Amino acid sequence: MKDHHGNPIVSRIKTGSIERRLHLASAGLMAGGRMVTHFATGVFSSKDKRQQRNRDMQSKQAAYLVNEMGKLKGSVVKIGQMMALYGEHFLPPEVTEALHGFEHQTTALKWPVIRKAIKKELGAERFSELKIERVPIGAASLGQVHRATRLSDGRQLCLKVQYPGVANAVDSDLNGVARLLRLTRMIKATHRFDEWLEEIRTMLHREIDYLEEARTTQRFAARLKNDNRFIVPEVFPEYSTQRLLTTSYEPGLEVTSESVQQLSQARRNHLGSHLLELFFKEMFQWHEIQTDPNFGNYRVRLKEDSGQKQDALVLLDFGAVNQYPDDTMNHINGVISASWHNRPEHIIQGAKNLAFISEEMPEEIGNDFARLCRMMIEPVLSGRYLWKSSDLPHRIVVKASKSAISRYFEVPPKEFLFLNRKLMGVYTFLSVVDARMDSSNTLQKYLDKIPA
């Protein structure tokens, strides 16, 4: 049996901590043993041959570990997804490539299990007030979503229910995965890696706290209540708990749907502008950012279906919203402002304040870094930008890899890693809707509020 999106539906997810720890430890020891044997047998090979053999071995062992981790489902899959998104600065390319296999690993639980979980959270009386559809309309690594009808008035609702036992396994699973990576020698244990690992732990605990997500959803709803470009679901506290979040059902089309893709250029430009300005609000004004770039977090409500004068974006998931310290965001926003005004010395100083580059960086390398930052904001500098046909990501990678900048870089702070993923998510959205627009005025009105 499968849900509406074709995800398999199973009867249980293993959540016993001892069982899961043993499984991860066994997989780590197996892969670690293979790596030790591999290095021992290749000691007399030429350098080039040895390097290629090592890459091949890492790819093979990473694929094995992802397969073993995937068997546990639940928070292990979520951890794998997060590491795939944010681990490029800590993990070998072969490992991050294998971890991307988790992005499409979703499993739904059978209705009797979910029904029991929902009834436990709501209580018998509240549960009886709802008619819940048995087949989920969405599933993820930590929970699944069911559509429901409130019997008293016919109100359409969405119930996001957490898989039983998942919350209790988060810390054990994260520790187990970190131990597994260390056993296989696929990471270098550093202070920054430990810091990044703790940030993932914080994010996981935030994502399993549905009451916190409810408060965040209400906060964004209040901020955007008078902006008809955005639709934020209404939270129903009487049907929400720490493991169950109930909101209004908000219909809309997927961004990649044919109906959205066939909209006029002007309408697609407006959708791109909506998302870009939302990002600027999060970054410059609120210092609170939705860091999950998953397209499933957005829907498009066409004006024909809403009676409004323009198309709107439905914002669906607020579990991965991060709040950032004002000091950190002020430094980051200062680097962006300096890039806009083409002030290399301010860009370099801002990057040093963020501990992103070393104090010993030579002047010419610093100027090269400043030019790279200027290149990164190319789409919003001036003029009508064609997002879909742009090769900007490729040019950035080429410039960064061919210059001497990398020798002076430190591993960026955790806040920068998550912001980078958000930026790439925005860029991908604008490319998918094939936006062609001048965004310079949109950005400038936020930059004008930053001291030059």
H/E stretch holding 97: helix 93-99
End-to-end CA distance of the chain: give it in Å, rounded. 59
Residue 40 pLDDT grade (very low, low, confident, very high; cuts 50, 70, 90): very low
Looking at the chain, the whole-number percentage of residues with pLDDT higher than 70 is 74
More confident residue, 40 or 161: 161
Instruction: Say what the pLDDT of residue 41 is.
Output: 47
More confident residue, 70 or 164: 164
Helix 363-376 vs helix 326-340: crossing angle, to nearest 10:
90
Instruction: Say what the pLDDT of residue 198 is.
Output: 86
Instruction: Say what the pLDDT of residue 191 is.
Output: 73
Instruction: Say what the pLDDT of residue 194 is.
Output: 80
SS3 of 229-267: the string is CEECCCECHHHCECCEEEEECCCCECCCCHHHHCCCHHH
Instruction: Say what the pLDDT of residue 427 is.
Output: 86
Per the structure block, which two tokens stand in for 124?
């018998």
Instruction: Say what the pLDDT of residue 44 is.
Output: 42
User: Does residue 33 carry a pLDDT above 50?
Assistant: no
More confident residue, 240 or 31: 240
The mean-pLDDT minimum among 175-184, 194-203, 245-254, 438-447 falls in 175-184
Question: Using CA atoms, how far apart are residues 12 and 9, in angstroms rounded to an integer?
Answer: 9
Residue 124 pLDDT grade (very low, low, confident, very high; cuts 50, 70, 90): very high
User: Are 69 and 27 a contacting pair, CB within 8 Å?
Assistant: yes
Give the helix, strand, coil percentages of the chain, each rounded to 5.
Answer: 60, 10, 30
User: Environment class of residue 326 by beta-carbon count within 10 Å: exposed (0-12), middle (13-18) or buried (19+)?
Assistant: exposed
**pLDDT tens by residue, 170-221:** 888 888 878 777 776 666 667 777 877 888 888 889 989 999 999 999 999 9
User: Does residue 34 carry a pLDDT above 80?
Assistant: no
More confident residue, 101 or 204: 204
Residue 17 pLDDT grade (very low, low, confident, very high; cuts 50, 70, 90): low
Instruction: Say what the pLDDT of residue 31 is.
Output: 46
DSSP state of 313: E
Look up the pTM and report it. Answer: 0.81
Residues in the chain: 452
More confident residue, 396 or 238: 238
More confident residue, 172 or 73: 172
Question: Using CA atoms, how far apart are residues 144 and 246, in angstroms rounded to an integer?
Answer: 12
Instruction: Say what the pLDDT of residue 259 is.
Output: 96
